[in-house]
Amino acid sequence: MTAPLPPLLIGLVGNPNCGKSALFNALTGLRQKVANYPGATVDRRTGSLKNADNIQLIDLPGTYSLKSRSPDEEVTCRVLEGRMEGEERPDAIVCVVDATNLAQHIRFALELKSLGLPMVVALNMMDLARREGIDIDVAMLGEKLGIPVVETVAVRGAGMVAFNDFVRGARSTLVANVPQKEDEQDRTSLQRRAIKIANEVTIAEGFEHRATRILDRILLHKIIGPIILFATLFVMFQAVYAWAETPMDLIEEGAAYLQGLVASGVTIPWLNSLLSDGIIAGVGSVLVFLPQIIILFAFILILEASGYMARAAFLMDRLMSKVGLNGRAFIPLLSSFACAIPGIMAARTISNPRDRLTTILIAPLMTCSARLPVYTLIIGAFIPDETLAGGVGQQGLVLFILYLIGIVSALIIAFVLKRTLTKGANMPLIMELPKYQLPNLKHLLLGLYERVGIFIKRAGKIILLAMMILWVLSIFPGAPQGATQPDIYYSIAGLIGRGLAVIFEPIGFNWEISIAMVPGLAAREVAVAALGTVYSLQGSEEAVSAGLQGMLNGAWSLPTALSFLAWYVYAPMCLPTFAVAKRETNSRKWAWFMAIYLFALAYAAAFVTYRIALYATGA
């Protein structure tokens, strides 16, 4: 037995789109841990190298240079320079370089030499380079750079073994290998030198990535491009409905089966009610939306991994520039369709502080996955499941319209903000359009696993707790003698609900909805769970078996349902979003501003919707 080697921390650095994260995933797999940097919300990804547990890798946010321009890039620079509080400076760095973009990527490698850290260049995407006919003299490249160079193929495991062995075998030499600084440090000189080196070591220039060229001819086409983008988003929202149907039915049946088990197995009435009405009805009514959330996240992850997301930003730039933002803001906004929290955090890649603030403020208007339970519940209960001309489902269409209202509202708000509170010059768009890649299934599943895990944890913790508290408030005190209303009407929750109903009455919300609004402040989907609990507690056995949708259909008028939808397009019923906005803007004031303007909009929209619907239905 040899004594264990001392721990080694290796930083993974590189330009965005160089395949750095894929490399990290391939090297660490499920051993990776995601956390936050202290004081910053940038994901801190670390993981141990396979069969070498005392070697830790840290995946630093992609950046084009050591001169940071966004909060995201700032983290990379600070960690590398050892200025990040609470974070160890890496013992060595691996600079990931895309072999197909050699001339442009090795400039950064040259710049990194100034750090005085031991360094290795991972020449990534070598398989792609070979397929494109690019031939590089790897030994000569290492010589010219004055840094050891290893070839890697991140998306496949094969090159990984070599890399793994290299890092482990070379750890003693690696740590000793501090490269010499370049003589001239200014950007232009470094770039000149990089281009010169690239020319010298490139044996064959190869031909261009054909798939990218052909795909871009279609996807970035002036007319066809935007149509495809719109169609892609439309298909995405239709799929959320169509593909999730079967698994959702299964989850519902599962919940009903559990309730059945509880009904026959648990004889203590209050425990029976807590388990059945409180926990299973509450948590079940949220978990049932898991299939839809998985589908939505899968779409967004595929769009990101394939390289299409940057194209979407390109196509949207013209429109975004009209409201004073640039196409880059479209990416955090699209992520916000899954959840505003990663969306707000993704705004970190926007370098201009005013543009970033504007993007953060409008991100909650993008229809996040937590609204899906609300929308699908109401749509399912009130919009007939009919197929319109062209095979388009009517329910899916309504959902798409709700998404559209959110987007249009966001653009209008951005337009107003950029002319008032966040006034400033229009910022340039300079953005790399990465090569198209077939998303790697393993990495996709890893990403899904991470995001779905967050959703389930939320369902497990916040929702479970909220539901149990609500259940307690809903059954105490019991109904008085000769009560004409269901028990819950006389409970503490009922009292609160009836009190709040004064505020919500003008927009058509009854006291049951008003109750659901209180725990619903914590998260949007909680409202659905709360409605599940409230109606389940007051309903007869038959009504309960008809499901929540059936009950709502009987209890609400159409104007109330539409008003409820309008409220949820705008209302910031999500405490975590509020917390993240506060942290990311570093300002309580802006977080409050966000909450207040959204509530005001929600109330106004619900009011108008309710009144128009009342008038239209002749009531």
Partner 1 sequence: MTTVHLGDMKPGASGIVSEITVGDTAESIVVAERLREMGFGEGLSLEVRHDSLFGRDPMAVKVGGMLVALRRKEARQILVSIKTEKAA
Q: Nearer to partner 1 by C-beta: 62 or 118?
A: 62
Does 327 participate in binding partner 1 (rule CB under 8 A)? yes
Q: How far, in Å, CA of 513 to CA of 530, rounded?
A: 9
317 binds partner 1 (CB under 8 A): yes
Hunting for tokens 């440090």 — which residue is that?
185
Of 49-57, 140-148, 429-437, 467-475, which segment contacts partner 1 by CB under 8 A? 429-437
| Cβ nearer to partner 1, comparing 33 with 217 | 217
Complex with partner 1: residue 318 or 423, whichever CB lies closer: 318
Is the bond leading into 179 cis (omega within 30 degrees of zero)?
no
- 308 binds partner 1 per the rule CB under 8 A: no
Residue closest to 166 by CA, chosen among 3, 50, 86: 50
Q: How far is the CB of 428 from partner 1 (least distance, A)?
A: 5
Cβ atoms of 146 and 179 closer than 8 Å: yes
Question: Does residue 279 contact residue 266 with C-beta atoms inside 8 Å?
Answer: no
CA dist., res. 616 & res. 619, Å (int): 8
Q: Does 130 bind partner 1 (CB under 8 A)?
A: no
Q: Is 419 in the site for partner 1 (CB under 8 A)?
A: no
Return the range that interacts with partner 1 (CB under 8 A); candidates 259-267, 310-318, 497-505, 559-567.
Answer: 310-318
- Among 93, 83, 11, 7, which residue's Cα sits nearest to residue 40? 83
Q: Which is nearer to partner 1, 97 or 381 (CB)?
A: 97
Does 216 sit near partner 1 (CB under 8 A)? yes
**Nearby residues of 112 by Cβ (< 8 Å), 6 or more positions away:** 13, 66, 80, 93, 95, 119
Query: Binding of partner 1 at residue 103 (CB under 8 A)?
Result: yes
Residue type, 168: R
User: What's the min distance (Å) between Cβ of 205 and partner 1?
Assistant: 9
Residue placing its CB nearer to partner 1 in the complex, 78 or 105: 105
Token pair in block for residue 18: 């160089």
Q: How far is the CB of 312 from partner 1 (least distance, A)?
A: 11
Q: What order of strands is seen across the sheet that includes strand 8-14? A: 33-36, 43-49, 52-59, 8-14, 92-98, 119-124, 149-151
Secondary structure of residue 203 in the 3-state scheme? strand
Structure tokens at 415: 């337009």
> Which of 187, 419, 457, 588 touches partner 1 by CB under 8 A?
187
Distance CA 555, CA 514 (A): 14
Whose Cβ is closer to partner 1: residue 187's or residue 461's? 187
Closest CA to 378 of 568, 598, 542, 600: 568
- 39-47, 214-222, 239-247, 393-401 -> range binding partner 1 (CB under 8 A): 214-222
100 binds partner 1 per the rule CB under 8 A: yes
Residue 195 touches partner 1, criterion: CB under 8 A: yes
Pick the closest to residue 360 from 350, 375, 373, 369 (CA basis). Answer: 350
Q: Which residue has the tokens 């609204």?
A: 371
Q: At what angle do helices 588-616 and 558-570 cross, to 10 degrees?
A: 160
Q: Where are the beta strands (DSSP E) in 2-118?
A: 8-14, 33-36, 43-49, 52-59, 92-98
The one among 256, 405, 416, 431 contacting partner 1 by CB under 8 A: 431
Alpha-carbon radius of gyration of the chain: 28
Residue placing its CB nearer to partner 1 in the complex, 223 or 619: 223
The two beta strands, 52-59 and 43-49, are: antiparallel
Residue with tokens 């990527």: 105
Burial class (CB in 10 A: 0-12, 13-18, 19+), 306: middle
One residue of 166, 237, 297, 314 binding partner 1 per CB under 8 A: 314
For residue 146, the 8-state DSSP code is T
Distance CA 187, CA 235 (A): 45
Minimum Å gap between C-beta 207 and partner 1 is 11
Please tell me whether residue 210 binds partner 1 under the rule CB under 8 A: no
Residue range at the interface with partner 1 (CB under 8 A); choices 25-33, 116-124, 427-435, 527-535: 427-435
In the list 140, 405, 433, 558, the residue contacting partner 1 (rule: CB under 8 A) is 433
Q: In this chain, which stretch among 84-92, 159-167, 424-432, 563-571 interacts with partner 1, using CB under 8 A? A: 424-432
The tokens for 355 are 């543009």
Query: One symbol per residue from 434 to 453: x for binding partner 1 (CB under 8 A), - otherwise; what is it?
Result: xx------------------
> The tokens of 361 are what?
């403020």
- 112 contacts partner 1 (rule: CB under 8 A): no
User: Closest distance between partner 1 and the C-beta of residue 196, in Å?
Assistant: 9
Binds partner 1 by CB under 8 A, chosen from 221, 419, 423, 461: 221
Structure-token pair, residue 230: 């719109």
Applying CB under 8 A, among 33, 192, 210, 423 the residue interacting with partner 1 is: 192
Q: Which amino acid, one-letter code, is at 466?
A: A
Calpha distance 374→552 (Å, rounded)? 12
- What is the x/- site pattern for partner 1, positions 51-70, by CB under 8 A? -------------xx-x-x-
Reduce the DSSP state of residue 202 to 3 states and report it: strand
Does 432 bind partner 1 (CB under 8 A)? Our answer is: yes
Q: Which is nearer to partner 1, 67 or 419 (CB)?
A: 67
Q: Is 124 in the site for partner 1 (CB under 8 A)?
A: no
- Under 8 Å CB-to-CB from 463, ≥6 apart: which residues? 282, 283, 286, 523, 525, 526, 529
Q: Which residue lies nearer to partner 1 by CB, 103 or 266? A: 103
CB of 250 to partner 1, least distance (A): 44
The smaller minimum CB distance to partner 1, of residues 429 and 492, is found at 429
CB closer to partner 1, 272 vs 321: 321
Question: Nearer to partner 1 by C-beta: 222 or 589?
Answer: 222
Q: Which residues bind partner 1 (CB under 8 A)?
A: 64-65, 67, 69, 98, 100-104, 107, 187-188, 191-192, 194-195, 208, 212, 216, 220-223, 226, 310, 313-315, 317-318, 321, 327, 425, 428-435
